[in-house]
């Protein structure tokens, strides 16, 4: 090193001195490299020794913990194979538990399948329904004699083909035909009585003029209709009919038996209504509520008293309604101040506001009214004597409202739903299509879905065309209605499921147990407006 320093300090350097300096630098670097490797190797050995020691201490702690665990649980200590250093027939150790935890961390969580096992009830009347599937349906539209006869017999006698012992044909065609029938009154071959929209009715006005201009024919039609309506309502009160519809030109009424949707009384929903119609009900002393009105809290003192619905239950909707109510209050105050400046009395101002608010909801979804119990009987009496329910103009002039029901009644006509089967192409894929047209009642969709499930059709979808004026029937979530009467509560029925009474009392209404379970459920989530529904992986999804 001194020689190296001496060479570096000299001013003049000879070639041999330069080479000597170069060789010294190489030796210095080699020495530094050897010294570094020695430290690293020793460090590794020390680290490995430390890890081994920690592992031994860890295993010793685990074994000690195991012994403590067995002592606490009063379990015999496990047998150890000393040759292989393994535990024999004892998975209950901390080591095994920790190893399982490590394995479980690497296992990915299973995917959650979205959907429901049930089909919600949609009280909206449907005009068309189309099912589509990649695989062919287990039936066809060409019915054999036995299939048509068995389908009719099963529907008329309320028999579950394939589930009850009988001599009826149980083929998919017969069971499909059973689902595609409806009872209707009146039935006039040259008039289409559903839907009851004058703009959509294709009728021969010349032929209908005979009814309009003949008083005897009109009175005979009305008398026959009154008997059918009365028969159907009595079936409903006896709980041998779950529900039925009354379709007039300007409104539709849905009567439901006690027990449906968990409600302990017979009840009825009517939509849409006008202020004049509601005034008629008031004059007849028929009490009703308007569950879809947003201003039920502020306008509870008016003749159109309302009550809360599930539509205002969510926080977002409540906030929006609160803001709207504040805006309405501000507008009302401004208008009231202006009227007061003109010298109008407060009583007159209240009447003006009441009239304005009642008129604003005319013929809208919010104009739906609900009656229950004895008021449902009063509404029946009102409708059966209401001359305004029969229009005096248009192609359906003089024709009473259309009655639709899933069970037979006096004067009812058995009407088949039109069924068409075809194949269509969507995105270059071939689909099998099944289309139904006619008055499709709420039980048709779940019945067809149940039929397809029993036929082991793994995947399909359905789209529905609805009668828009009846969507408010499903918009009403009947949570606000008392499920039990005071007398039922006095015998401590609150602990009994709310749909038990309905299912038992409606056992003769023509529905099987599966349908009754859904129609009698008080759960508001079981009532939805369905436009599209899909079935896949044994789950239903809808929009």
Cβ neighbors of 147 (< 8 A, separation 6 or more) are: 169, 171, 173, 174, 177
Burial 388-405 (b: 16+ CB within 10 A, else e): ebbbeebbbbbbbbbbbb
pLDDT in tens, 401-446: 999 999 999 999 999 999 999 999 988 899 999 999 999 999 999 9
Peptide bond between residue 505 and the one before it cis (omega within 30 degrees of 0): no
Share of the chain above pLDDT 90, in %: 42
Helix axes 275-283, 374-384, angle to 10 degrees: 110
- The Cα angle at residue 295 between residues 291 and 297, in degrees rounded to 5: 85
Would you say residue 308 has pLDDT above 50? no
DSSP state of 537: T
| Neighbouring residues of 332: CB distance < 8 A, sequence distance ≥ 6 | 353
DSSP state of 527: B
Output 527 or 80, whichever has higher pLDDT.
527
∠95-97-100 over CA atoms, to 5°?
110
Strands 460-466 and 126-133: antiparallel
Rounded-to-5 percentages of helix, strand, coil across the chain: 45, 15, 40
Q: Do 431 and 423 touch, CB atoms closer than 8 A?
A: yes
- Cis before 471? omega within 30: no
Least confident of 89-103, 388-402, 514-528: 89-103
Is pLDDT at 48 greater than 70 in this prediction?
A: no
In angstroms, the CA 494 to CA 133 distance is: 44
**Strand ranges (DSSP E) for 141-263?**
181-185, 243-247, 252-256
Q: Please state, in angstroms and rounded to a whole number, the distance separating the CA atoms of residues 123 and 117.
A: 19
For position 173, what pLDDT does the model report? Answer: 92
Mean pLDDT of the chain: 77
pLDDT digits (tens, 9 = 90+) for 206-264: 456 778 888 899 999 999 999 999 999 999 999 999 999 999 999 999 999 999 998 99
Per mean pLDDT, which range of 28-42, 82-96, 172-186 is the poorest?
Answer: 82-96
Query: What would the mean pLDDT of 509-538 be, rounded to a whole number?
Result: 91
Cα–Cα dist 314/303, whole Å: 27
Q: Which whole-number Å values give the CA distances from 223 to 35, 228, 325, 360, 378, in the listed order?
A: 118, 9, 47, 36, 19
> Does residue 504 have a pLDDT over 60?
yes
d(CA 411, CA 414): 10
pTM metric for this prediction: 0.70
Question: What pLDDT does residue 373 have?
Answer: 94
pLDDT of 378 above 90 = yes
Supply 459's token pair.
């995947």
Contact of 540 with 534, CB cutoff 8 Å: yes
Residue 81 above 50 pLDDT?
yes
Distance CA 386, CA 124 (A): 24
Would you list the DSSP string of 224-240? HHHHHHHHHHHHHHTTS
Of the chain, the percentage scoring pLDDT greater than 70 comes to 64
Q: Which residues pair with 465 in a beta bridge?
A: 128
- What does the DSSP 8-state code read for residue 253? E
- pLDDT for 33: 73
**pLDDT for 176 beyond 90:** yes
Res. 472 pLDDT band, cuts 50 70 90: very high
Q: Of the spans 47-51, 63-67, 84-88, 245-249, which averages the highest pLDDT?
A: 245-249
């Amino acid at each position: 090193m001194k020689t190296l320093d001496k060479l570096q300090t000299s001013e003049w350097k000879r070639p041999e001195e330069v080479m000597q300096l170069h060789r010294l630098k190489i030796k210095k670097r080699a020495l530094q490299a050897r010294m570094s490797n020695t430290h690293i190797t020793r460090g590794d050995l020390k680290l490995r020794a430390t890890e081994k020691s920690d592992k031994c201490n860890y295993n010793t702690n685990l074994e000690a913990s195991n012994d403590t665990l067995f002592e606490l649980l009063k379990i015999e200590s496990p047998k150890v194979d000393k040759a292989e250093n393994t535990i024999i027939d004892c998975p209950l150790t901390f080591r095994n538990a920790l190893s399982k935890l490590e394995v479980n961390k690497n296992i990915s969580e299973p995917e959650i399948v979205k959907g429901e096992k049930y089909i919600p009830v949609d009280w909206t009347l449907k005009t068309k329904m189309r099912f589509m599937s990649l695989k062919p349906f287990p039936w066809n539209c060409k019915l054999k004699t036995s299939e048509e006869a068995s389908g009719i017999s099963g529907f008329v006698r309320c028999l579950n083909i394939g589930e009850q012992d009988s001599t009826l044909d149980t083929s998919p065609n017969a069971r499909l035909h059973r689902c595609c029938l409806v009872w209707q009154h009146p039935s006039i071959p040259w008039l289409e009585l559903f839907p009851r929209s004058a703009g959509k009715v294709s009728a021969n006005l010349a032929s209908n003029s005979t009814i309009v201009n003949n008083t005897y024919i009109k009175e005979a039609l009305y008398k026959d209709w009154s008997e059918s309506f009365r028969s159907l309502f009595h079936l409903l009160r006896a709980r041998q009919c779950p529900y039925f519809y009354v379709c007039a030109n300007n409104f539709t009424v849905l009567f439901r038996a006690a027990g449906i949707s968990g409600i302990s009384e017979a009840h009825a929903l009517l939509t849409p209504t006008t202020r004049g119609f509601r005034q008629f009900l008031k004059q007849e002393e028929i009490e009703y509520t308007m569950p879809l009105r947003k201003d039920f809290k502020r306008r509870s003192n008016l003749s159109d008293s309302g009550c809360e619905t599930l539509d205002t239950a969510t926080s977002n909707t409540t906030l929006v309604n609160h803001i709207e109510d504040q805006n309405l209050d501000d507008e009302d105050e401004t208008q009231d101040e202006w009227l007061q400046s003109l010298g109008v009395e407060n009583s007159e101002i209240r009447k003006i506001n009441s009239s304005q608010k009642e008129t604003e909801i005319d013929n809208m979804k919010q104009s739906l009214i609900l009656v229950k119990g004895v008021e449902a009987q009063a509404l029946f009496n009102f409708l059966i004597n209401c001359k305004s329910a029969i229009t005096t103009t248009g192609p359906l002039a003089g024709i009473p409202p259309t009655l639709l029901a899933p069970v037979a009644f006096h004067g009812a006509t058995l009407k088949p739903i039109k069924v068409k089967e075809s194949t269509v192409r969507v995105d270059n894929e071939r689909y099998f299509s099944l289309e139904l047209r006619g008055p499709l009642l709420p039980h048709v969709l779940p019945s067809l879905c149940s039929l397809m499930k029993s036929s082991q059709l793994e995947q399909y979808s359905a789209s529905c065309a609805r009668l828009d004026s009846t969507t408010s029937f499903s918009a009403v979530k009947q949570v606000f209605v008392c499920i039990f009467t005071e007398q039922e509560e006095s015998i401590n029925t609150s602990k009994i499921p709310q749909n038990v009474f309905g299912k038992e009392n409606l056992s003769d209404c023509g529905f099987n147990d599966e349908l009754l379970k859904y129609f009698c459920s008080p759960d508001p989530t079981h009532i939805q407006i369905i436009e599209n529904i899909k079935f896949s992986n044994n789950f239903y999804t809808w929009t």
